[in-house]
Each structure stands twice: as C-alpha cells, then as structure tokens.
Amino acid sequence: MEKKQYALGIDIGGTNIAYGIVDKFGTLKFEKSVPTSNFKTPIDFINYLFLQNEIQDELTNILGIGIGAPNGNHFKGTIDYAPNLLWKGCIPLKEMFENIFKVPTMLTNDANAAAVGEKFFGCAKDLKNFVTITLGTGLGSGIYINDSIIYGEHGYAGEFGHIRVIPNGRLCKCGRKGCLETYASSSGIVRTFHEMNSDNKSKSILLTYEKITAKDIFKEAQSRDLFATEIVNYTAKILGSALADFCAFSDPKAYVLFGGIAQSGEFFRKKVVKEFEENLLSIFKNKTEIRISSLHDKNAAILGNAASVFLNL
C-alpha cells in the first residue's frame, strides 16, 4: 500500500498559532488556529498539538514539520529572543519538536516560508529565480535564486524592508531612518496619509474616516478619490523604484507581491510596474515580471511552512 505523505505546517504568531496538515498538492486536510497565550511554554504547545485527534490520526503519515516563527533561526532551529512572544529567551524549538514527534522539523521566518509556498503551491511554480515581497504591517522578502532560498551567512538575508530609500527619511522601528517598510507597508501608507500635503487633501473623503487604514485608502483610490490616489501612487513609486534597484543585485525573473495591499491586484500592480520599468537598468527592461500572489484566499502561512518540508526532504 502506498503511504500517503503529509507535512505539518505551523505558523507561530504573537497572537495566534495556526497549524494544518498539507499534502504535496497544497490541499489542506485539516487546519486550526489557537491563541498563542493559551500556552505558557513552548512545551505546553507541543504536547497539546501532539495529542490532537486530527494529528494523532495521521501521525504515521507525517513526513516532517515546517514551522514559521518570529525571530526563527533556520540554521540553529531556535526562536531567538522574539519580542512579540511570551516564550522568552532562546528556545530550541526544532529539538523540542523532534523529541516528541520523531520527525524532521525545520524552522524559518515568515518571509522565506512565503517564498517556498509560492514555489510549491502558488504563482511561482514555473520559476527558478524570484523574490516574494510581503506587504503587511511591515515589509518582508524571501529570496529564491538558483532554485533555492537564500539565507546568507547568519540567516538574515532578505531584510529588504530595511534598505533605506529616502535619505534621512521616516524613523523606522529598527532605529534607522528612511527604510522601505516605513513607506511601502500598511503602516507606511497611513504615515503617508498623515504627512502628505496635497491640493486634493481638503476635499478628500479620507478625512471623514475616524481611524484610517491602508485598506480604506486603497478602496477610496479605486473609487477615484484624488488624495487617496496620490497616496497609492507615491507608495507604488517608492516600491517600484526599490524593486528596480534590487534587480541589479539578484536578477529575478519575477517579484511576487503578497499581503493586504497586494490584494487590490491589477490596480496596484500596474502602478508598481510603471515605476519599476522607468527605474530599471536598461539590460533588465521588459524582462522581469511583477506578479500578485495566488495564495491570498488560502492559508498561505501554513502552506508555506508545509512546503519547506517538501522542499527539504
């Protein structure tokens, strides 16, 4: 009898932990989300997970476990001093999982998991060289070049959100100024709203919002509010230009945009492409694509972490 092979994908966040069993085609057999605060220690969580009926039923079919976590260190298999987790210090998570589940376990950060997810289950199946850009509260990137994830010497490669795009620009939470993610992210877009002086501002519907979000700004831009459109154009300009510069460095076939802002699809993509092409070194012109993730309506984090198992085993 042919053995079915699944991966257990786990996404550990500051608020929730999502997990699921995934097959090689990206079908989620089962998925669940629990509050991270339910577990005082990582061992409490691992024991809970191990005893779940859905996991026990498939235990012999699980090939490996892929975990994405804040400050997840791929090389050491540890979570290193994650500021957003209750679990403090340096946690040897890989070892803890392997002791209980007895299957290979791998740990990575969210951005790399997103890239592997696109390669296996998303819109990058045909690509050997691409970069995923995750546009959330911040900006993350996963670099997949020569058919493998680039980790770098310390596992930190892909901190693209912290390249500086505006000299002496906005203060970033990393302590420096002008980082890309202070402009091209949902929090950056709200900052642009507050900072931008525009002739179109006074008549804008955005001023009627009590607490504005990037989603509101995109929605109003799509409804042709002029001030909202200016904000979106400015965001696309900074992002497109930064992506053009990074081409000179890594020569990807495509960028894959994922996250809240990217969900507006063609509307935002077209604007980014325009700025991107205008800023490219001529040898790259009309060669590099910008795609929108096809995993937005799926649980991309679980899929990406499960895909790491299929990639590595």
Strand pairing class (148-149; 105-108): unpaired
Are 33 and 41 in contact, with CB atoms under 8 Å apart? no
In the numeric block, the tokens 């809970």 are attached to 48
Q: In the complex, what is the shortest distance from the CB of residue 172 to Zn ion, in angstroms, rounded to a whole number? A: 3
Q: In the complex, what is the shortest distance from the CB of residue 124 to Zn ion, in angstroms, rounded to a whole number? A: 26
Q: In the complex, what is the shortest distance from the CB of residue 180 to Zn ion, in angstroms, rounded to a whole number? A: 8
Q: In the complex, what is the shortest distance from the CB of residue 134 to Zn ion, in angstroms, rounded to a whole number? A: 15
Question: Which helix (H) or strand (E) is 18 found in, with range?
Answer: strand 16-22
Q: Which is nearer to Zn ion, 7 or 172 (CB)?
A: 172
Which residues of this protein are in contact with Zn ion, per CB under 5 A? 162, 172, 174, 179
3-state secondary structure of 210: coil
Chain-centroid distance, C-alpha 313:
23
Angstrom distance (rounded) from CA 91 to CA 119: 29
Q: Which is nearer to Zn ion, 59 or 166 (CB)?
A: 166
Q: Which is nearer to Zn ion, 77 or 161 (CB)?
A: 161
Q: In the complex, what is the shortest distance from the CB of residue 299 to Zn ion, in angstroms, rounded to a whole number? A: 28
In the numeric block, the tokens 């009627």 are attached to 208
Q: Which is nearer to Zn ion, 174 or 248 (CB)?
A: 174
In the numeric block, the tokens 């001093």 are attached to 81
Q: Which is nearer to Zn ion, 179 or 236 (CB)?
A: 179
* Helices 214-222 + 186-195 axis angle, to 10: 70
Angstrom distance (rounded) from CA 291 to CA 12: 27
